[in-house]
Amino acid sequence: MAEDHVNAIKELGDQLQTASNSLQVQEIRNTWLGRKGLITGRLKGVAGLPVDQRRDAGQRWNGVRIEAESMIDEALARLQYQEETRQLEQERLDMSIPGVSPGLGMLHPLTRVRRLVEDVFLRMGFTLRYGPEVESEWYNFEALNIPMNHPARDMQDSFFVDIPGMVLRTHTSPVQIRGMKAAAGRLPVKIIAHGRVYRRDDDPTHTPMFHQMEALVVDRGISLADLKGTLLAMTQDLLGEDVETRFRPSYFPFTEPSMEVDVTCAVCGGSGCRVCKGTGWVEILGSGMVHPVVLRNGGYDPDHVSGFAFGLGIERLAMRIFELDDLRLLYQNDLEYLSRFGRYTGRPIL
């Protein structure tokens, strides 16, 4: 009987020695000190002993219980400490791992093209003007010599708004009139105007909203040679000396004569593809000599001054510069797609 409790302590000590984690120690505690544990059983058994042995046995097994508890607590503390240390080592901050760079970001391809064009014209002494996107029909059509029955007013081309007499401007040309009026007869008028324009179109080369850059020059003795020279300087500056341009006679109500300017298609190099509809050329702008009616509407006398104007499609130019074949991708805000244009190095990007 006296040996019994010594053996118990020894046995518990052995078990605790072999325990390799805190969970095992908890189990050992249960086996010895739990409700049905070995020591608990012995303590309960004391009540059934003959009266003269009870006190002695009670004291012994109580001593065993206290000893066992402190042995278990000690083993538990030791193993828990080891476990925590191991975990901390695993979680340690490794300062040698390369960091995640947030990336610098960049301007949208259309913004870059706009700034390139602006830069070309600001260097030539033009000033920037802005006009409203919700424009009166007078500025958008009548003032530009576009009569009531002109197809450009058709519902298929224009977005009309709920306010009578107003439209979402279909081009930046109304800024020509606004610019001339603001200049109030002074010469020369040399303006560019950039902004959003709206038409009911939607296909790979047309979006319902797109951007134009308008240019207008009014002065004494301005001729078609000035227009051609300016356009040539611009296309060469933007697209390189070797790019081919084509001037095609055309018709616009607000210019006479009128011409469209095409550049060789960047996607196919001129052999013909989906983007250039098989022609090898991409139209980038419409231009011409300002119509006398337009000059008069702007407050200038066509007998004394003349002018040229053109309207450039920023998206068309971006397609040419960045070799895009679907305009609509420019508006989907897919950063993966847009970041591909980060490497354009043809000219310094402003």
Calculate the CA 300 to chain-centre distance. Answer: 44
Q: Which residues bind ligand DAH (CB under 6 A)?
A: 171, 173, 214, 252, 255, 286-288, 309-311
In the complex, least distance from residue 193 CB atom to ligand DAH, rounded to whole angstroms: 10
Q: Closer to ligand DAH by CB, 75 or 192: give it.
A: 192
Long-range contacts formed by 236-241: CB under 8 A, 24+ apart: 237/120, 237/347, 238/116, 238/117, 238/120, 238/317, 238/321, 238/347, 239/263, 239/320, 239/321, 239/346, 240/346
- The least distance separating ligand DAH from the CB of residue 311, rounded to whole angstroms, comes to 3
Nearer to ligand DAH, 61 or 308 (CB): 308
Q: Tokens for 143?
A: 């003032």
Q: How far is the CB of 216 from ligand DAH (least distance, A)?
A: 7
State the nearest-atom distance from the C-beta of 191 to ligand DAH, in Å. 11
Rounded to the nearest whole angstrom, what is the least distance from the CB of residue 100 to ligand DAH in the complex? 45
Instruction: For ligand DAH, give the closer residue by CB, 100 or 155.
Output: 155
* Cβ nearer to ligand DAH, comparing 112 with 291: 291
Q: Which is nearer to ligand DAH, 131 or 311 (CB)?
A: 311
Query: Residue 302 Cβ, how far from ligand DAH at the closest point, in Å?
Result: 15
In degrees, rounded to 5, the angle at the alpha carbon of residue 342 between the alpha carbons of residues 341 and 347 is 90
